A = this chain, B = another copy of it.
Amino acid sequence: MAETQESKESLQENLQQVISLLNKHRLVEGLVHKQDMPKQHLLETLVHKQNLAELQKKLDALHPADVAYILESLPLEQRLDIWELVKAERDGEILLEVSDAVRQTLIADMDSDELLAAAEQLDTDELADLAPDLPKDVLQDLLDSLDIQNRERLQSALGYTDDAVGALMDFDIVTIREDITLEVALRYLRRLGGLPDHTDKLFVVDRYGILQGVLPLKRMVVNDLDAEVVDIMADDAVVFHPEDKADEAAKAFERYDLVTAPVVDSNNKLVGRLTVDTVMDFIREEAESDMLSMAGLREEEDLFSSVWKSVQNRWTWLAINLVTAFIASRVIGLFEGSIEKIVALAALMPIVAGIGGNSGNQTTTMIVRGLALGQIASYNMKSLLLKELGVGLMNGLLWGSVLGVLAYFLYHNWALGAVMTAAMTLNLLLAAIMGVMIPLVMTKSGRDPAVGSSVLITAVTDSGGFFIFLGLASIFLI
């Protein structure tokens, strides 16, 4: 009894936190609820109640995306408390909404029966999103429970990599024939009684399922009822193939302002559709994963991962960085004799390396972005390289001179100042060349240029900067 009381109190505390999150982000205020009192208000009163069932009811009134947001914002233990309160029949839709890392924590907390029950509420395309996270035996039971068409769909969807259109498409397609009138088409829709989410157009196919065109709902409601579908449909729709790259499809959605688009196989047979909400989620995930991977993090880490999981997540890039830092250290080791004679070199060398790294990262970021936007091809690489060399030269002379003067005032040695200026200029030129080349070479060899290019460029400008500065100093000053 005492434990239940305690658990209730802890839940109420959690919900207080959740309310502050909701308030902060206007999740709730953004909704018009005429008959209701505002949800925010409900939640605020609810923490004063003693009834778990009451708490649960309120949670059930929230949109699954909001429940997902609440789960993501809570540390593991409290997250699982709330997860227990969620009605079993909503588990599936909420699992779809949470991030991959959080989904794993929730699935780990469920037994096979619960997982199977959750999965069975979902559409085939949604199952495909969830399937990779499910235990093998649950997945097998699930496949057995599907009819032939859906099993084939699920298996084919699982056959595509995450970055293919086939993995993003859904099967909620409503098709009509081209030789009927609008009146007949509308009668058909009224018999259906409802349309899938995001339906902004019907797909016009022939008797073999070959796509003939698309009929936007917009056109259905403004044209005469006796018009034929073939006369008002659009036959220049943007179409995709399941094996197309998802990020090219995302660009097409942005470019042509699409809401849904048909997916066809190589015979132009309609196999599914892409919707803007899936594409938008994909864009957001890509942008986040780029940002995280540039810093040497994998996307799977959730904010409240355990220390041990976080260490595993981050160690790869730290280890790579350790190797590059060690190489830079050995470069300095080559010149220990020079440093012993002029100890000022030790104090000045990190400046040359650091500015080179910053400048190289700027160049690399520009190139990575240009590559992502498809604006870089063989014909303009030369002009890009020349431009970056120009920028490096100007910055090198400018900031190198500033530092040369500073070095002169600190150590009263004009030759040291001159070496500083020269080393800075040369390292910025090196940063420009490598800043362009590293992402290009990574792309040519089939890698994602965003991942780790920052670590690589820094490695080059560190070792290179130390070598150039200490080398010049050894020649001209010793």
Contacts and interface: CB of A to CB of B under 8 A. Distances in A.
Given A73-B375, A222-B189, A259-B276, A238 B358 contact: no
B32 A322 contact: no
Interface in A34-83: 34-35, 63, 65-66, 69, 72-75
Contacts of A351: 322, 325-326, 328-329
B347 A329 contact: yes
A415 interface: no
A373 B68 CA distance: 12
A369 interface: yes
A291 B370 CA distance: 12
Interface string A299-320: 0010111111011001101110
Given A24-B374, A235-B34, A277-B254, A195 B222 contact: yes
B238 A253 contact: no
A403 interface: yes
Given A340-B343, A351-B325, A315 B370 contact: no
Contacts of A240: 30
Contacts of A292: 365-366, 369
Interface string A151-172: 0000000000000000000000
Contacts of A296: 358, 361-362
A57 to B, nearest CB: 18
Contacts of A6: none
Copies of this chain? 2
B297 A365 contact: yes
Interface residues of A, number: 145
A220 B220 CA distance: 10
A194 interface: yes
B220 A199 contact: no
A11 to B, nearest CB: 14
A220 to B, nearest CB: 6
A281 interface: yes
B235 A32 contact: yes
A224 interface: yes
B255 A355 contact: no
Interface stretch (A106-114, A123-131, A135-143, A386-394): A386-394
A295 B361 contact: yes
Nearest to A407: B329
Nearest to A383: B75
Contacts of A17: 377, 379-380
Given A220-B221, A292-B369, A256 B65 contact: yes
A412 interface: no
A290 interface: yes
Given A291-B294, A295-B364, A297-B366, 15 more contacts: A32-B237, A34-B236, A75-B380, A190-B222, A195-B218, A254-B277, A276-B276, A283-B283, A283-B284, A291-B291, A297-B365, A303-B376, A311-B398, A326-B403, A332-B350
Interface of A: 17, 20-21, 24-27, 30-35, 63, 65-66, 69, 72-75, 186, 189-190, 192-195, 197-200, 211, 217-218, 220-224, 235-240, 244, 248, 251-257, 259, 268, 276-277, 279-281, 283-284, 287-288, 290-292, 294-297, 301, 303-308, 310-311, 314-315, 317-319, 321-322, 324-326, 328-330, 332-333, 336, 339-340, 343-351, 353-355, 358-359, 361-362, 364-366, 369-370, 373-377, 379-380, 383-384, 387, 390-391, 394-395, 398-399, 402-403, 406, 410, 455, 458, 462, 466
